[in-house]
Structure formats: C-alpha cells, structure tokens
Amino acid sequence: MYSSKEEYIKNIKILLVEDEVNTLQLLQRIVKVHFKNTIIAVDGEDGYNKYKEFSPDIIITDIRMPNLDGLKMSGKIKKDNPNAKIIVMTAHKDLEYIQKALDIGITRYISKPLKSMVLFDYIQTIATNLYNQHILEKKSDELDEVYKELHLLQKENKKLNEILTTSKSSFHIDETLDTQYLTKLFETLARLTQSGLKLQNHKTKEIILSINTKKEQHTIKSIQIDENYTLDILAKEHTEDIEIFFKDIITIIRNKQKLRYVNNLLEDKINQKIEEQHILLSLFEKGESVLFKWNNDEHWSVAYVSSSVKKILGYEAEDFLSGKIQYRDCIHKDDIHRVEREVIEGSSSNKDFFKHKPYRIVTKDNDIKWIVDYTVSIKDDNDKVTYFVGYIHDITEEKLKDKMLTEQLKLASMGEMIGNISHQWRQPLSVISTGATGLLMQKEYGILTDEMLEKTCNAINTNAQYLSKTIDDFRNFIKDDRKKEKFTIKDNIDTFINLIDSSIKSNEINLMVNIKDENLMLDAYPNELIQCYMNLYNNSKDALNELEEPEKLIFIDIYTKGNKVVIEFKDNAGGIPEYILPKIFEPYFTTKHKSQGTGLGLHMTYNLIVNGMRGSLKATNINYQYNKKHYIGALFTITIPIK
C-alpha cells in the first residue's frame, strides 16, 4: 500500500514497445527520470507477451514494427482488457492510422519526433486518473466492510442476549467483576437468608468479600462463579433452600457479568468502526469526489454531503443540509428527466446498486460540468427504499477529450466526403464543358439552332444547380453550430443521400428509402442527424464489403409512432455477433473486425441520439425476405421525439 499519491504514481508499471534502438533509449531516459518500473519490448509480439507477463499500467508503443505492428498489438491488448491505457506514437499523420487508433480505443496519440515534456504530461495525466480510480475503489470497498462488520456485531449481540439466561459455560469476568455491586447484592442476600458469604479467588486464596460471617458458622456450599472466583455460603446448618436460592442468584450474576462484558466489547468495536468511518469519510472531505446521502422524497433532500461538494458545485455543504439548495435543482434541465427515470428503474430492480449514465450539473457560477454518479439504494424491512447513498465524480475533462476524438472522426468523414464529392462532380462538369464547347463549334459552323441553344443552356444550368446544391449540403454538414431547427425528414434524408451518392455507386450498394410521410416536420438537429446516418451507413458499407454477397442492400424505413419518429437502418451483411451486441455502443469497445459495428462511430451516434436528442438507439439482428430471397442483417433503430 502506497502512503501518498506521488509514491503511487512513481511506482506505476510502464511498458515501452519500440523496435528502433535509439528511440527506445530516448524513451527509457524520459520515463526513468520520473517512474521506477519500466519494461522493454522490441516489437509487437514481444510487447504483447510482456503485457501478459507483467500487467503494466500504461503501454507506450510505436505503430510500424516487425512481427506484429503496434495497432494490432493494441487491439489484442484491448480485447483482453478494454480499460488498458495505451499511448501510440508514430511519424505518420495519415488519417487512416488515426481512425484505426480511435477504433481500437487508444488513450493518447503522439507524433514523432518525441517531445519529452508532452510525453511526460500524457503519462502523468493517465497515472493521476489511475490513482483516483484506485482511491475510489478502495473507499467503496472499505465502507462496505465497515457496514458488514457492524451488521455482524449487531447480530452476534442479539443472539447472545437470547442465550445468556441459559448459559452454563465457564466465563472469565476478572476485568468486569464489579465488587461494589456484588458487595451491595451479597449484603442483601446474607440478611435475607441469615447466612454468611465469602467471595475468594480460589487460585490465590485472596478474600475479595466477607459478609456476615460468624465463628459458629461453617461452609455449607461452595459455588464456582467462574474459573477464578468461588462463593462460599456459611451457616449453622445446611438447608437445601439456601443452596438452591444461591445457585439461581449466581446464574443471574454470571449472565449479568457476561452481558456487561459483551456490551462493553461491542461498544468498543462500534466506536472503533465509527472512528474508521470518520477516517474514510475524511477521504471524501479532502478528495475530488463528493459523498451524498439523499432521502427518498420528492426533492431528494440531502441528509449528508461531504464538504468537497464545494469543489464541484461551488456551494457549501450547509446549503444542501439546510434545504436552501436542492441537489435535484442542480441537474441540467435537459438531463433531469433521464436521471429521474434511472432512479426509478434502479430503485425498482432487485439490485441495490446502480450507475447513472453521465449527466450535466449546473454550478453556483452557472458553469456546466459532466459527472458520473454511483448510487446504492438502502431499503427498510418492507423492501421500501428509504434513502440513497452515493458519490459523484467530475468527468468534464474526459468529456472534452471525447469531444476532441469525435471532431477527429468527423474530420475523417469529411475527408471521405470530399473524395465522394470530387467524384460526383466529374459528370456534371463534363456535361457543362461539353455543352459549352459544342455551342461554340455549332455557332462557328453556322449550324446552331435556337432549339439546340435552349436545350444545351438548360442542361448547363441543371448541372450547375446540382453542383451548387452539393456545395450547400457539404457546407451545412461541416457547420459546428449546434442549432435546433424545424425541417422535413425527406429533405434531411435527401441531403444525406446527396453526400454519399458516389460512395453508393462506387461500392455497388442498392439503397432503398421508404418514408411513410414525406411532409413530416421535425424540431431537432439536422446536421447531427445526418452525422448519425453517415456513421450507420459507413458501418453497413464496411460490413457489406467484407462479404462475398453479390447483392449489397441497405434499407432506410421512416415512420411515426405516437409523438415520435422511428428511423430504421437495415442491411444484409450477416448481422452482429450476439456476444458483442450488449457492448456495441460502449466507447472504444472494439474487436479485430471493424465491420462488426464497434468503435467510436457508434458510441458517437449513441450519444448524439440519446443524450443530444432525448431519443433511443437500439441494435438487433434481423431475418427477412426481399425479392423472394432470405437475408440476415443488422437493424439499427433510432427513435426521437418529433418536437
């Protein structure tokens, strides 16, 4: 166990994978200045074997290497451990490499030649995140142990109280023997029975108490209280009544002493556990996470909150405890309904723990932050949730990184579309050029007719308008302003098809669109919706290109269901393996086949639909018939509110 954050970070294990000797030596010099544990590998195959042997915390790798390149090695590692932290370095800035790295789920991407401070900052950031995760997991585990031990102690005490009155086992009471209490009790008993009493330690023969003893009395009975103490009853003559009476009294005394001992022991242990709880809670007080205890009422009133809440929300803990500020009111208005739904679903399930999807909060200074929220439901004897205990953690920085990766993906899409557009323009430019040249030649030879002039000018104008529309569609798509507006679903789909038209033709894909209501108006984000179409289309296109299916089919069906619009994307690429379906929208989840629909593209689509438009996105496999032929494919279903 490391005593400090600095010690933990200094001792993380770093695997360096590089086949070029000079670069590897440079890497070692940079890393060894700040970190103790480095492992060396000379190619991807060696790197993967070293990863399996040493389980490093961070992997730094080149891309182009013999035997197994860095990206393939990273893919194998990510398959074993999706949370592995990998930094890729390369001198190549090709978008293809960036795209592959993003699909695999690479943590960082750094260009050569290496800059030592940039590399150190990357490693330090990842190591700090690992340390924070380690502390949070430790806190959670320790709190669970505290509650378990307290529960066991309470059960043990209850059970002991039930059996004390029938206990006959030997019991040490040296430390709990209350001589003042026994003196008063035995004086009363001696007076009532007109007998003498003598309490002694039969091992040391020390007389502890001597009450009402007289010369004419003799010991009629010795009763052993425990392994050390014996009570002698003295009287002139022996009577059964006195013996029986004292036996009962001693049983009561013995049990009372046992109970007192156990209660004292239990109290000490409870105090010890309470002290341990205070220590654990102090970690939240000083740390970056915030511990909450919410009552299960209308406003989620706060029964406890750590003082670290000021670091995230800007409010004092007392603002929440007094009811001046309600936590529910701090949740962003666009996220509150989803958070409420998750609380209801989490409370009604058989599990007592649930994790919210990341949501936004508004701070005292009106800043917007992203947080992750882990919550435990505490139920009473009637299985009713009485309150929630959980902690929130600021992930705004991680969200910004996701946004940057998303922008990189969009740039990659734009590059592909530019290629498509240049291909689309060839034919209309050829028509315009041929028409203009033909007019000049016909005029020169005196054979130009009015009919031919009008026909050619119309053709030139039609193709010029087509070029202009393509420019407008592309310009609108690359706009970065997130603006909600009203548009028809048909115009939205037509714009998307116009952008991928040459891709459809070059890949020989048969795209079929069926819109039940072409006049249907949506109040949403048209550019983001087109980006979602683009991601789903690319997913199907890549899958279709890996199959030998002679007919490549993509269907888009659009219809309304209540106050929502449903958009279905369906292909005939064989479907998605069942074992990865539940994880298909997770960030950076990947298998070795990109065509199986994993990676940042689908995660981005999920976020745009679910978090950005308050909709839903589901993926399933489907069997269907088309033109009397049976097909299997993937079905992606987008559902979003019309308004």
Minimum mean pLDDT among 329-338, 446-455, 471-480, 621-630: which range? 471-480
Place of tokens 């200094």: 10
For the beta carbon of residue 526, count every other beta carbon within 10 angstroms.
22
CATH code that applies to domain 5-133: 3.40.50.2300
What is the distance between the alpha carbons of residues 43 and 514, in angstroms, rounded to a whole number? 51
291 contacts: CB under 8 Å, gap ≥ 6: 281, 284, 304, 305, 306, 308, 389, 390, 391
Could you tell me which residues come within 8 angstroms of residue 457 by beta carbon, excluding any fewer than 6 positions away?
435
pLDDT, residue 283, reads 60
Helix (H/G/I), strand (E/B), else coil: 135: helix
- Of 81, 130, 129, 132, the closest CA to residue 105 belongs to 81
3-class state of residue 387 by DSSP: strand
Distances (CA, A) of 6 to 3, 122, 436: 9, 16, 74
The sign of the dihedral angle between the CA atoms of 590, 592, 598, 604 is positive
Residue range 267-289: mean pLDDT, rounded? 66
- Give residue 150's pLDDT: 44
68-72 mean pLDDT: 88
Q: State how beta strands 58-62 and 13-17 pair.
A: parallel
Residue partners of 309: CB distance under 8 A and separation at least 6: 290, 315, 316, 317, 320
Burial 389-421 (b: 16+ CB within 10 A, else e): bbbbbbbbeebeebeebbebbbebbeebbeebb
Residue 231 DSSP one-character state: E
- 407 falls in which pLDDT band (50, 70, 90)? low
Using alpha carbons, select from 454, 406, 417 the residue that is nearest to residue 99. 406
Cis bond upstream, residue 582 (ω within 30): no
* CATH 3.30.450.20 intervals, the chain: 288-394
Structure tokens at 52: 């399996």
Contact 307, 317 (CB under 8 A): yes
405 versus 61: the higher-pLDDT residue is 61
**Alpha-carbon span 18 to 119, nearest angstrom:** 15
Per-residue pLDDT at 46 exceeds 70: yes
The stretch 182-198 carries a mean pLDDT of 69
pLDDT digits (tens, 9 = 90+) for 336-390: 888 888 888 877 767 777 888 888 999 999 999 988 888 888 887 777 888 888 8
Q: Which of 142, 108, 137, 152 is nearest to 14 (CA)?
A: 108
The per-residue pLDDT for 299 is 78
* CATH for the stretch 288-394: 3.30.450.20
With a cut of 90, say whether residue 192 has pLDDT above it: no
d(CA 590, CA 79): 7
Q: Is 38 helix (H, G, I), strand (E, B) or coil?
A: strand
pLDDT confidence of residue 592: 37
User: The dihedral of CA 134, 138, 141, 143: what is its sign?
Assistant: negative
Q: Please provide the average confidence, as pLDDT, over all residues in the chain.
A: 77
Strand order in the sheet with 37-41: 37-41, 13-17, 58-62, 85-90, 108-111
Per-residue confidence (pLDDT) for residue 176, from 0 to 100: 45
**DSSP secondary structure string, 201-222?**
ETTTTEEEEEES--TT-EEEEE
Q: Where are the beta strands (DSSP E) in 357-449?
A: 359-362, 368-379, 385-394
Instruction: Give SS3 for 637.
Output: strand
Q: What pLDDT is stored for residue 510 in this prediction?
A: 92
Centre a 10 Å sphere on the Cβ of residue 4 and count the other Cβ atoms it contains: 9
- Residue 513 — pLDDT band, cuts 50, 70, 90? very high
Q: Is the pLDDT of residue 505 over 90?
A: no
Report pLDDT digits (tens) over 75-126.
899 888 888 888 888 766 555 666 677 677 777 777 777 777 778 888 888 8
Which range is least confidently modeled, 32-36, 41-45, 188-192, 592-596?
592-596
Strands 85-90 and 58-62: parallel
Report yes or no: 95 and 412 within 8 Å, Cβ to Cβ.
yes
pTM strictly above 0.95: no
CB 596 within 8 A of CB 576: yes
Give residue 248's pLDDT: 61
Q: Please give the residue that has the higher pLDDT: either 13 or 187.
A: 13
146 by DSSP, 3-state: which?
A: helix
- Token match 């440079």: residue? 26
Where, residue-wise, is CATH 3.40.50.2300 in the chain? 5-133
Does the domain made of 396-480 have the CATH classification 1.10.287.130?
A: yes
pLDDT above 50 for 564: yes
Q: Assign 51 a pLDDT band (cuts: 50, 70, 90).
A: very high
* Contact between 201 and 173 (Cβ < 8 Å): no
* Residue 593 vs residue 564, higher pLDDT: 564
Q: How many Cβ atoms from other residues are within 10 Å of residue 432's Cβ?
A: 19
- 120 vs 249: which has the higher pLDDT: 120
Residue 515: pLDDT over 80: yes
Q: What pLDDT was estimated at residue 376?
A: 82
Looking at per-residue pLDDT, the higher value among 271 and 243 belongs to: 271
Q: Judge whether residue 56 has pLDDT over 90.
A: yes
pLDDT at 591 over 50: no
According to the per-residue pLDDT averaged within each range, which of 114-118, 436-440, 508-512 is highest? 508-512
pLDDT number for residue 173: 40
**Largest Cα–Cα separation, the chain:** 161
Q: What topology does CATH give the domain 481-643?
A: Heat Shock Protein 90 (3.30.565)
Q: Which of 365-369, 546-550, 631-635 shows the lowest per-residue confidence on average (mean pLDDT)?
A: 546-550
Q: Which helix (H) or strand (E) holds 559?
A: strand 552-561
- The DSSP code for 609 is I
